[in-house]
Amino acid sequence: MTARRDIEAITERIRQRSKAGRERYLGRIAEASNQTANRSVLSCGNLAHGFAVCSPSEKLALGADKVPNLGIITSYNDMLSAHQPFETFPALIKEAAREAGGIAQVAGGVPAMCDGVTQGQPGMELSLFSRDVIAMSAAVGLSHNMFDAAVFLGVCDKIVPGLVIAALTFGHLPAVFIPAGPMTTGLPNDEKAKVRQLYAEGKAGRAELLEAESKSYHGPGTCTFYGTANSNQMLMEIMGLHTPGASFVNPGTPLRDALTREATKRALAITALGNAYTPVGRMIDERSIVNGVVGLHATGGSTNHTIHLIAMAAAAGIALTWQDISDLSEAVPLLARVYPNGLADVNHFHAAGGLGFLIRELLDEGVLHEDVQTVWGEGLRPYAVEAKLGADGSVVREASPQASGDEKVLAPFSKAFQPTGGLKVLAGNLGHAVIKTSAVKPERRLIEAPAKVFDSQQGLNDAFKAGTLTGDFIAVIRFQGPKANGMPELHKLTTVLGILQDRGQRVALVTDGRMSGASGKVPAAIHVTPEAVEDGPIARIHDGDIIRLDADAGTLEVLVPGTEFALRRTAEADLIGNEFGFGRELFAGFRQLVGRADHGASAFGTA
């Protein structure tokens, strides 16, 4: 009962803080609702352009506002495994819409970049900004005002948050998110990680490394570890933007296609022309956002969502803070062990009972808001199910199993892996930071050691190759924040620090950059705010300064006398190399406009 009271109190705190912004937002979407399902506001020339390629019967229906029209926003490309399955979805959606008496048109496409491809490359400096570009691209597609609802095809890291921001910006429209699912299980993630370490130590060659990576990332669908992409899918389901049980069904299966057809028909049913009008801006409220945070903690999800959830909430006029996220962590236990928080992958999680089991456990203990609205209707309880394929090819749902199929992967509430969530916010004289505790052993969550300071991840890797990373230390990697260079993910650090930790050294990381859901067993205080380029305290750390990182206490301190530390000059870095090449010159405006990590690292401002 204490957890339930805490959840209610934090939700009410968010509601009160957001009251003015939420009222303004709801007023805007109410005004926009007056034009929904009303293509008569378009001139004849407007309409002629909008349905030029439609059939004569579709033109008649659209011109008379007789049938609902779905706008499809797609992130399809055929280079990236997670998005390639979307190639066939528009045709499937159009067919399902016709069967249900509606129409569907591809309203627009959005870019979908892969952090796996750009990892450690210059293109990674566009990754975070791509979220806002995706939101704007989707807005361009929906701005034609031809649509009664939108369906969003997106899966991976920045794509789903960007699409959610767009959906909430067009909050007068119903919105249904349709996933493509994870790839089937390949080489286990821990075995792949071992080969990476051997390669970093010079004990394996490039051919061996490429073979391991290719066996791990081997087909259509999201990567199977529990990073940002699969955390996205969890969020869309627990926030009610997916149909129940849709998140973790593999691509190219009959059930996956049946779920897509069903989602299409549901999107038509919740338009203003149907009987269950559900504008997404009213549907997603403070309770929905809190449910998303609860799910993130209970599953040990991606640290990227400490940024994205704030930006997503802001698009609905809701002011979520890191403190809210941190306080919710204290009320929510960790119920899932999915790599890097364990050895299982997301397919094992799904087979053990998946989100249906997890949602039921959380609902039964009162740590999820049940009284929410979803694309499926009233209440979250209908999501405590498992989706299966019926004999006639349609989707049928069964109650989620009462017992976990594997308690090493998915635990009941009574046997939680730890009493608190997988993420924690740190505070101290270095500002604020985020740490993912679920992957770090308890005995490694406190470290006090001298700093080794670098201005890039390459600097640390060079020091590793030179053999100078000896003894216990805390690596400080700065000038990696949103304004400095777009806040790239720093996965090149994971392998090196993991090797040193395995050798018996006590090591940790402090950075104003990102590490995402793939951050692993080394304690990492990331997203340090204010960032170095904004004269944040991280820019005043010297080599040899003693830093104390205490994940359990939630503190991050440099142990230097306050007066001395305050009088130090802030370091400067030559960032000219981040400003050109691979399109980075086009994003100079984003680097100037972007807000702090704890404000959502957005160019759009805050709620």
Q: Does 430 share its domain with 317?
A: no
Answer yes or no: is 213 within a domain: no
Place of tokens 């361009």: 140
User: What are the tokens at 202?
Assistant: 């010079």
Lowest mean pLDDT among 50-54, 96-100, 374-378: 50-54
Q: Does 530 sit behind a cis peptide bond, omega within 30 degrees of 0 on the bond before it?
A: yes
DSSP at 96: H
3-class DSSP state for residue 503? coil
Say if residue 95's pLDDT is above 60.
Answer: yes
The per-residue pLDDT of the chain, averaged, comes to 93
Cβ-contact 74, 109 below 8 angstroms: yes
Mean pLDDT of 156-166: 96
The model's pLDDT over 482-538, given as tens digits with 9 standing for 90+, comes to 999 999 999 888 889 989 999 999 999 999 999 864 456 899 999 999 999 999 999
Looking at residue 43, what is its pLDDT? 81
Q: CB 210: neighbour CB atoms within 10 A?
A: 12
The model's pLDDT over 188-215, given as tens digits with 9 standing for 90+, comes to 877 877 887 787 778 888 888 778 787 8
The residues facing 70 across adjacent strands are 104, 149
The model's pLDDT over 348-407, given as tens digits with 9 standing for 90+, comes to 999 999 999 999 999 999 999 999 999 999 999 999 999 999 999 999 999 999 999 999
Of all helices (H) and strands (E), which one includes residue 525?
Answer: strand 524-529
Looking at residue 429, what is its pLDDT? 97
Answer yes or no: is 207 within a domain: no
Q: Does 347 share its domain with 445?
A: no
Q: Does 161 sit behind a cis peptide bond, omega within 30 degrees of 0 on the bond before it?
A: no
Q: Can you give the three-state secondary structure of 6-37, one letter per residue?
A: HHHHHHHHHHHHHHHHHHHHHHHHHHHHCCCC
DSSP at 184: P
**Domain membership of residue 503 as a residue range:** 423-578
- Report the CATH number at residue 468: 3.50.30.80
C-alpha span between 106 and 137 (Å, rounded): 13
Answer yes or no: is 458 within a domain: yes
Q: Does 366 share its domain with 502?
A: no
Looking at residue 517, what is its pLDDT? 47
Q: Does 313 share its domain with 448?
A: no
pTM here? 0.95
3-class DSSP state for residue 183? coil
Q: Does 478 share its domain with 357?
A: no
- The last residue of a domain, from among 344, 364, 399: 399
Q: Supply the DSSP string of 417-441, one letter for each residue.
A: SBSS-SEEEEEETTEEEEEE-TTS-
Cβ-contact 281, 174 below 8 angstroms: no
DSSP at 81: T
Answer yes or no: is 49 within a domain: no
Say if residue 438's pLDDT is above 90.
Answer: no
Structural domain count of the chain: 2
- From 101, 96, 92, select the one nearest 66 (Cα to Cα): 101
Q: Supply the DSSP string of 194-235, one letter for each residue.
A: HHHHHHHTTSS-HHHHHHHHHHHS-SSSB-SSSSHHHHHHHH
Of all helices (H) and strands (E), which one includes residue 112?
Answer: none
C-alpha span between 362 and 333 (Å, rounded): 9
C-alpha span between 430 and 438 (Å, rounded): 23
Answer yes or no: is 61 within a domain: no
C-alpha span between 386 and 548 (Å, rounded): 45
Binding residues for [4Fe-4S] cluster, as ranges, are 156, 223
Binding residues, as ranges, are 156, 223
The model's pLDDT over 226-278, given as tens digits with 9 standing for 90+, comes to 989 999 999 999 999 999 999 999 999 999 999 999 999 999 999 998 889 99
Answer yes or no: is 415 within a domain: no
- The last residue of a domain, from among 399, 431, 448: 399
Residue 502 has phi, psi (to 5 degrees) of -65, -25
Say if residue 340's pLDDT is above 70.
Answer: yes
C-alpha span between 559 and 484 (Å, rounded): 26
Round the CA-based radius of gyration of the chain to a whole number and report it. 24
Q: Does 309 share its domain with 444?
A: no
The residues facing 222 across adjacent strands are 182
Answer yes or no: is 601 within a domain: no
Q: Does 316 share its domain with 433?
A: no
Judging by beta carbons within 10 Å of its beta carbon (0-12, 13-18, 19+), is residue 155 exposed, middle or buried?
buried
Q: Does 174 share its domain with 134?
A: yes
Cβ-contact 317, 18 below 8 angstroms: yes
C-alpha span between 557 and 185 (Å, rounded): 41
Cβ-contact 512, 484 below 8 angstroms: yes
Looking at residue 192, what is its pLDDT? 78
Q: Does 328 share its domain with 453?
A: no
Answer yes or no: is 475 within a domain: yes
Pairing of strands 175-178, 423-428: unpaired
Q: Does 364 share its domain with 478?
A: no
Of all helices (H) and strands (E), which one includes residue 266?
Answer: helix 254-269
The model's pLDDT over 533-574, given as tens digits with 9 standing for 90+, comes to 999 999 999 999 999 999 999 999 999 999 999 999 999 998
C-alpha span between 594 and 598 (Å, rounded): 11
- From 120, 131, 345, 110, select the one nearest 217 (Cα to Cα): 345
